[in-house]
Structure formats: C-alpha cells, structure tokens
A and B are shown apart, each in its own frame.
Chain A
C-alpha cells in the first residue's frame, strides 16, 4: 500500500465512521431512554442482519482508520520505519477479530 492509497482509505473510513458513530450514539440514547435492559436489547439484536451488518462495517472501518493512524504515529514519533506497517497491520487485524467477535456475540442467536 502506498501513502496515497492509505490516505484515501483513511478519509473514506472517516466518512463511514462519522455516520456510524452518530447512528450508534443515537441508538444508545434511544435504548436507554426507553428503559431497556441488557436482556431486552439482546432480544432485539439477536438474529438481526441489519444490526450485524451495520456493526461489522463499523468494526472494519474503525480498524482500517485506526490502523493507518497508528502507522503514522509509529513512523513519525517512534521512528520505526517499515516495522510500522507490520505493527499497524497487526493492531488492525486484532481490532477486526475482537470487534467481530463482539458483533457475533450480540447478533448470533
């Protein structure tokens, strides 16, 4: 991946994240104001393809966006050179795995 493609990927995922964060926060506030508990929320999320798809997209976008940002920090502040690519890639991969596990836990029946 060259710097230009990474820059574009980070900008595109930023746009996705802006939308996802707003929807996520609005949903939390709506659910809490409605007085829903954990069991009731899980009852609504389980089996929902829409919720699963939305949060899977959220997780992947956050992993790509954060990974590219950490790569820059590793390069500019820690001066890790090419190691930054591997480090950022590993962090992004870990975020995808952990995030998707959480999505599965909330959505799988």
Chain B
C-alpha cells in the first residue's frame, strides 16, 4: 500500500512510503511501521494505543481521526492513505502538532474545577439522575485528542475561538453542582471567542471519536448565558 506522509513543519511536503498491509491494521500501526522499518527520523505522537489518552490524532485522508482506533480498512478503501498533522494547529515536525493553544483555551474557558468544599467537609452527594448531572455525564468522557478542534471551521476562521473541546469542558463544569465558578465561567465562554460564535455546523460532533456532542454542550451554554443573563456583562 502506498502511504503519503507529511514531512517538515509548516512548510514541507508529502513523502511516499510502501507499507505492507496486515489484517486489522490501524493507521497508527502504519505510522509505527514507517518509523521502525523505513525512516527512523519520522516524528509522531502516541501513548496508550487503545483510545484513552488522546495523543495520536492526525489528519487521515483529509479528516481528523484518532489513529490508534482507526482501521486502515475503513478509511483507505481505494488503497491510498495520506497522513498529515492535525489541522488548525501549528506543526512542530512531521505528524506532531503543537497542542499548546488547544489546551491554553481550556484554561481560558475556565476549564479548571473550582471547589466549594474543603478537605474537612464531607463528600458531596450528587444525584446521578438529576438533569444537570446527566448533562455533565454526556460530555465528560472527552479525551482531549483535538479532533473536534481540527474539524471546526469557526476555529479556522477565528483563531481566538475557544473551540468545541474547551466549551464542552466548560459545559460539564457549569453542570457540576460541586463547582463554585459558574458565573465567571459563563463570562469566560461568552462572546465572539466563545459559544456565541458557534454556527452549529456540527463538524465536531460528526468527527468526535468518543461520539460526544460538543454542539449540544455549546447550545447548552448559549441557553444558560441567555437564561441567567450571564456572560460578558
């Protein structure tokens, strides 16, 4: 199988490699084969190989995907594979994207849990059936892979836009009854860089490998900022 792999930084070119097909082969297997057997200077990022850590996302045949759980069979029907770093992020080298801005935006969206209790208080009792907890549960399995961020057109057009993952994180926290920074968080996620810039194109939801719906979370934030009169006031 011919595999074209991005080499270089922001400027660079695709380089072709011939990789043997294997049963149940993943795109990460292909990249690993190239580095171990064909060109040890190829840079890429991975850790767990089982879809938990969120570090191996790349652009595969034009779409952002988690490469460790993406089978070659599913994405290279024509026998052609083109692998590039994630879009909407600076390229460090080859398949490695610089994730700093992505995670800085989580902090800007106040993605940090702000406790309301101290260590001397008892455990909070959270009803798992409450509507707020269900909303939080629906978004809480994000692994921070950056696929949604790379798939988002608003990120591409507006570099300040916080992006689907950071806004989804904020939504899980404003629905966490133990958290004490709801108003400040709604301020942080409002306006032109925040939830109100989402055009509901659902590219994040379409591409999320964990089948989460950041679009739903962002819509929730819009409703909440309206209802509570919070955000950028």
Contact = CB atoms under 8 A, between A and B. Distances in A.
Contacts of B190: 2-4
A86 interface: no
Nearest to A84: B192
B123 interface: no
A3 B197 contact: yes
A11 B226 CA distance: 11
B41 to A, nearest CB: 37
Contacts of B222: 7
Contacts of A72: 197
Contact of B194 (A3, A6, A75, A77): A3
Interface string B150-178: 00001001100000000000000000000
> Interface of chain A, helix or strand or loop or mixed?
helix
Interface residues of B, number: 16
A75 B157 CA distance: 8
Interface residues of A, number: 12
- Of the listed residues A3, A4, A75, A77, the one surrounded by the most CB atoms of chain B closer than 10 A to its CB is A4
Interface of A: 2-8, 11, 72, 75-77
Contact of B191 (A3, A11, A76, A77): A3
A3 B196 contact: yes
A69 B193 CA distance: 16
A7 B157 contact: no
Given A2-B232, A3-B191, A8 B154 contact: no
A2 B191 contact: yes
B157 A76 contact: yes
- Of the listed residues A5, A76, A77, the one surrounded by the most CB atoms of chain B closer than 10 A to its CB is A76
B214 interface: no
Given A2-B232, A4-B190, A7-B222, A76 B196 contact: no
Interface in B170-188: none
Nearest to B154: A76
A6 B158 contact: no
A7 B196 contact: yes
B232 A3 contact: yes
A4 B190 CA distance: 6
A59 B191 CA distance: 26
Nearest to B197: A3
B43 interface: no
Contacts of A7: 196, 222
B158 A8 contact: no
A8 B194 contact: no
Contact of B192 (A3, A8, A11, A77): A3
Contacts of A3: 190-194, 196-197, 232
